Every structure is written in C-alpha cells, then in structure tokens.
Amino acid sequence: MAIISTTSTAPTSSMEEVLKLPDGRTLAYSHSGPSDSKLVLIWFHGLFSVGDAANPPKPIRERNALFIAPTLPGWGNTSPTLPGKTFAETVVSDTLALLEHLRPQPSNDSLRIYVAGGSFGTVPTQIVFGAPYDRFPYGRHIVGMLLMAPFSPFREDVNYRKGLCWRDWISVGPLTRIVPGRMVQRLMKSALAGKVRDVASAEAFLQKEFFADMDEEEKARYAAWRERTGERGGGVPAKDGGGDGEERERVVGGIKEFDEEHARKPVVLALGRGDTSLRGMAKFLQESYKNVRVEEYEGGHLASAWSMDEVLEEMFTAGGD
C-alpha cells in the first residue's frame, strides 16, 4: 500500500522484516515513514494478529512519523519467549533491540515516542510505557500512550473479573490461575484450533465474533472506516481476548508506584460503550493513571477502531504534537 511521500530521503518500508536478536530469537516487524523522523509511534497488535505498518492512519502520515509495528513473542514469525524469561521482560528487550536497530539514538536526540495498542496489545504497551529507564533507556523519550479497549494489570486490579461476560471469565478469569498445568489455556487452544484451521474458517469465526452483534450505528461507522481506509473485507483486527492469564497477571509493574516522570505522561483510553467486559478494567486504569483522558464510542470491542484518526489525534494532542 502506498505511503504518502515525505521530504526525507531516508528509506521507508512496509514489508515484514525479521531482526535477529541478541538472545538468538527472531523478531518480525513492519515499519513505514522516514527512519530519521523525530516522532515515532510504536503499535502493539492484539491476538490473532501480527505487526503491520503498511497503511499508517492519516495523523501519522501528516506528521511524517516513523510508524513501527512489531510482532509479539510467539506470534507470526517472532520467536516465543525463552524458558525462564517472562513475557514482560521479553517485550521490553525486544522493543529495545528494535529501536536500536531502526532508530539509533544520538546523545543530543530530541526524539519523541508514543506507544499504543489495542485490546491484548494494551498489555505490552503498558509494559513498555512503565519500564524502568535503566532497562529501557528509550523510555525517557516516551511522551504519551494510547490504550484502545484496554486490559488492566490483573495483579493490581483485584476486581478485574467483576463484570466479565461468561466467555471472558473463562478465558482470562480466575480459573486461568487456579487450575494447575495451564489446563484452561490448553483446552481453549484445542477448542480454537478447529475454528481457525484455514482462512475461510478463521474469517467465519471472526465475523461471527465481532460483526454479528453490531448495532446499526456501529455498522455505519465500520462502513465509513472501510471506505476511508480502502479495506475490502476482513482487514480488521480479531478480538484480542483470551490468552495467558498467568502472563497478564505479572506483565505490568505497579502503576501507583510510578516515579514522577512516568506518572505525568498523558494516557488516552478509548473504548466502546458496549464492551462490557473491559469497562471495569478501563475504569480501574482511569482511576490509576494520573494524567488520563477517556474517549468513548458507541459499539462493542472494536468500536474505537472505526474512529482511529480521531483517537490518534487525541493522543498526539495530549502529548503536545
């Protein structure tokens, strides 16, 4: 897909590339925009997705920003976490290695970084946002965060399970931590395998999950989004529920323990009014982060995606860009 031209002569790319990491793993990623841009947006995808920066939304293009979309550990062509390593420390080290590769940092650099993600992707987004600077030096350049249909850190949000629909309660609720041997996750994997055994089955599964219950207003916003972005069918991130509850419980350090520099950075929350399972988690985040804005949209889990340009403008405005 075409990238709007910039005045920079630095190379741009939208094809997936693979970076060999110091720990022997591989990290798949996509990026577009000028590699020497002072403005960077890192987007973390959700489940059933991979990093894709091929079609940056208008607010990113207009600002000539470098748009980076890594593929998370264990998804697509990115290696899983190594034995003995947590998801959190792997995400931080992978993101650090990718930035050092794509955007080496001069000592006098005026770099400005935003981190963003949707649904499960809000988990790694919060990990990187809150990472200590000694582990993630680029964190000093983070100026804002966007969380769309966000998950809260389960270790801190002790009431996260309240308000979950029964399906989400099973997939990410207390059972995922109580039942030994990660049996719940294994059963879910088996149940999903048949639903995504090929492209046709996967498309039917996702259509049923996310589009069957849309009301007329959300259908209209979705249709406008498709027209605006040129999506013909599919092209929509799958619902990012489910996954490994044990990892989610420990992915984020204490939000309430942030130092002053971390705490003052703006956070934008975007969610659908009908996404009942995540409303309680969003409320917890709203009460926990010190500098937060909330944007709500009519619709369900994907509601904010149909207003991506508007949400990104809100993020950039909050961060001063």
Q: Distance between CA 50 and CA 38 in Å, rounded?
A: 25
| Mean residue pLDDT across the chain | 80
Region 196-218: what's the mean pLDDT? Answer: 66
Q: What is the pLDDT of residue 43?
A: 97
Range in 51-65, 80-94, 199-213, 294-308 the model is least confident about? 199-213
Indicate if the pLDDT at residue 242 is higher than 80.
no
Give the model's confidence band at 56: pLDDT under 50 very low, under 70 low, under 90 confident, else very high: very high
Higher pLDDT, 275 or 119: 119
Q: What is the pLDDT of residue 205?
A: 64
Indicate if the pLDDT at residue 60 is higher than 80.
yes
Range in 9-13, 77-81, 141-145 the model is least confident about? 9-13
DSSP strands (E only) in the chain: 17-20, 26-32, 39-44, 66-70, 112-118, 142-148, 267-272, 292-297
Q: What is the pTM of this model?
A: 0.77
Look up tokens 């719940």; give the residue.
184
Q: What is the pLDDT of residue 227?
A: 64
- Greatest pairwise CA separation for the chain in angstroms: 56
Pick from 184, 161, 170: which is nearest to 276 by CA? 161
The tens digit of pLDDT for each residue in 97-106 reads: 999 999 987 6
Region 286-306: what's the mean pLDDT? Answer: 85
**Half-sphere exposure of 259 toward its Cβ, with a 13 Å CA cutoff?**
6
Higher pLDDT, 115 or 205: 115
Higher pLDDT, 180 or 128: 128
Indicate if the pLDDT at residue 19 is higher than 70.
yes
Domain ranges of the chain: 17-164+246-319
Q: What is the pLDDT of residue 250?
A: 38
Q: What is the pLDDT of residue 104?
A: 85
Give the model's confidence band at 303: pLDDT under 50 very low, under 70 low, under 90 confident, else very high: confident
Look up tokens 């989610």; give the residue.
248
Percentage of residues in the chain having pLDDT higher than 90: 46
Residue type, 173: G
Q: Distance between CA 321 and CA 239 in Å, rounded?
A: 30
Region 205-216: what's the mean pLDDT? Answer: 64
Q: Which CATH fold topology does 17-164+246-319 show?
A: Rossmann fold (3.40.50)
